[in-house]
Amino acid sequence: MEGYFFAGLGVTLVQYLRRRDRRLLPLMALFAALAAAETREEWDPWQDGLRLVAGGAALVLVALLSRDRGGAPAPGSGGQREVPGARSGWRLRS
C-alpha cells in the first residue's frame, strides 16, 4: 500500500516543480505522512501520529481549495464571473 502513497508523492512533487502552486504542498505532506505511516508496524505509536498529521494536512488542503479566489460576480453579469486564465468571454456560473 505504501507504494501507492510514494507514487502519489512523486507525481505531486513533479506537478509542484512544474507549476509552483503552493496548494500542492499540503497534498505532498498528506502522501508523505501516509506513506511513512504504512511503513511502520501496527504497534508503533508513530503510526497513529503520522496518520494524525495526514489528517491535518487534508484539512489544510480543504481549507485552501475552498477559499473563494474570484470574489463576488460583477453587477449586471447575471450571477456569473470571469474565469481566471480562460479565454475572454468565458464565464463561470455561481
pLDDT of residue 27: 92
DSSP line for 22-45: TTHHHHHHHHHHHHHHHTS-TT-H
Q: What is the pLDDT of residue 3?
A: 85
pLDDT at 23: 87
Mutual orientation of helices 45-65 and 24-38 as an angle, nearest 10°? Answer: 160
Three cell numbers, residue 52: 494524525
Query: Reduced to 3 states, what is the DSSP secondary structure of residue 26?
Result: helix
Cell of 46: 508513530
Give the model's confidence band at 81: pLDDT under 50 very low, under 70 low, under 90 confident, else very high.
low
How much is the average pLDDT of 71-89? 58
Give the cell for residue 19. 507549476
Polymer length of the chain:
94
Say what the pTM is. 0.65
